[in-house]
């Protein structure tokens, strides 16, 4: 039976362990991550996630969504803790601490879940803010999920979770190493493979089938898509640019193409 524990010091070992989830090594060891803020945690609840630990600021769960979230955590048998403002401040990654923060088990979907629809494949994405923004956009357009290929940044890093604004709980995340991805794209994916490339000649504003199956391949912030990956594309598209910029930001380019595909 879950109950609420009061903790008053940030030196408490449970609080210290929670805080350590900021660190990628710790997230890898424990398979946990954390998210903060009532709105974001509300999305986790809506998407039927259950927290492992739930920490809230004393006096902040009297009514409304804050109360519902504590109830959700207790129903889910989470470890629920009430802490004072200064402890919340130590835990939060923000200047103005959120009234609630919770840890969750990371969820990686198996590639057998990829059947059809619209998927975004990101090759070696390195910027956590870009990744979070892409996850949010994938959610917004109703695409199925994100496939991370190779050495990508961690979607469960706090910067990514924050930039996703809760969409991390709504979007399927799959990871593949390079070999697996090349086999998947060339032999297993049943649909069109669209690569974005600065050297492409086709404009991204072309006809797409609103209900079609598309794998949209995006390159990394540095070198872009590798030759091996773009070679597998059935079409290559470019977003025209007029000024001095030699490319667009990865998350901006992904959003433009996704909206065009689902317009």
Ligand X SMILES: C[S@@+](CC[C@H](N)C(=O)[O-])C[C@H]1O[C@@H](n2cnc3c(N)ncnc32)[C@H](O)[C@@H]1O
Residues that bind ligand X (CB under 6 A): 196, 198, 218-219, 221, 223-225, 238-239, 241, 247-248, 250, 253
Residue 233 CB, nearest approach to ligand X (Å): 11
- Are residues 235 and 202 in contact, defined by beta-carbon separation less than 8 angstroms? yes
User: In this structure, what DSSP letter does residue 182 have?
Assistant: H
Can you tell me the distance from the alpha carbon of 180 to that of 238, in angstroms, rounded to the nearest whole number?
26
- From the centroid of its chain, how far is CA 17? 22
Strands (E), the chain: 4-6, 32-36, 53-57, 79-83, 100-105, 118-123, 145-149, 172-176, 192-196, 202-203, 214-218, 235-238
Can you tell me the distance from the alpha carbon of 252 to that of 208, in angstroms, rounded to the nearest whole number?
19
- From the centroid of its chain, how far is CA 63? 29
Q: Which is nearer to ligand X, 164 or 254 (CB)?
A: 254
Residue 53 CB, nearest approach to ligand X (Å): 36
Residue 209 CB, nearest approach to ligand X (Å): 20
Q: Which is nearer to ligand X, 79 or 130 (CB)?
A: 130
Residue 216 CB, nearest approach to ligand X (Å): 9
Assign 3-state DSSP to the chain and report helix, strand, coil percentages, each to 5.
40, 20, 40
Residue 62 CB, nearest approach to ligand X (Å): 46
At 249, list the tokens: 């930001």
Residue of minimal Cβ distance to ligand X: 224
Q: Which is nearer to ligand X, 168 or 258 (CB)?
A: 258
Q: Which is nearer to ligand X, 39 or 205 (CB)?
A: 205
Q: Which is nearer to ligand X, 80 or 143 (CB)?
A: 143
Q: Which of 3, 95, 10, 118 is nearest to 54 (CA)?
A: 3
Residue 251 CB, nearest approach to ligand X (Å): 9
Q: Which is nearer to ligand X, 131 or 218 (CB)?
A: 218
């Amino acid at each position: 039976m879950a109950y609420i524990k009061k903790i008053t010091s940030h030196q408490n070992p449970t609080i210290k362990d929670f805080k350590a989830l900021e660190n990628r090594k710790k997230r890898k060891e424990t398979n946990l991550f954390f998210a903060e803020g009532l709105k974001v945690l509300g999305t986790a609840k809506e998407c039927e996630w259950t927290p492992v630990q739930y920490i809230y600021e004393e006096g902040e769960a009297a009514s409304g969504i804050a109360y519902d979230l504590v109830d959700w955590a207790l129903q889910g048998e989470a470890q629920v803790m009430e802490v004072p403002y200064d402890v919340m401040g130590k835990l939060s990654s923000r200047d103005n601490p959120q009234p609630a923060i919770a840890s969750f088990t990371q969820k990686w979907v198996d590639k057998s879940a990829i059947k059809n629809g619209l998927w975004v494949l990101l090759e070696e994405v390195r910027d956590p803010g870009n990744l979070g923004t892409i996850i949010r956009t994938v959610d917004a357009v109703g695409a199925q999920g994100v496939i991370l290929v190779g050495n990508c940044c961690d979607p469960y890093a706090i910067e990514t979770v924050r930039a996703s604004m809760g969409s991390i709980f709504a979007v399927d995340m799959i990871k593949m190493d390079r070999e697996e991805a090349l086999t998947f794209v060339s032999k297993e994916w049943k649909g069109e493979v669209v690569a974005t490339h600065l050297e492409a000649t086709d404009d991204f504003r072309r006809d797409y089938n609103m209900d079609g199956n598309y794998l949209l391949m995006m390159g990394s912030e540095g070198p872009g898509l590798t030759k091996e990956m773009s070679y597998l594309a059935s079409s290559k598209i470019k977003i025209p640019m007029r000024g001095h910029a030699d490319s667009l930001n990865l998350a901006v380019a992904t959003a433009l193409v996704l909206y065009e595909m689902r317009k």
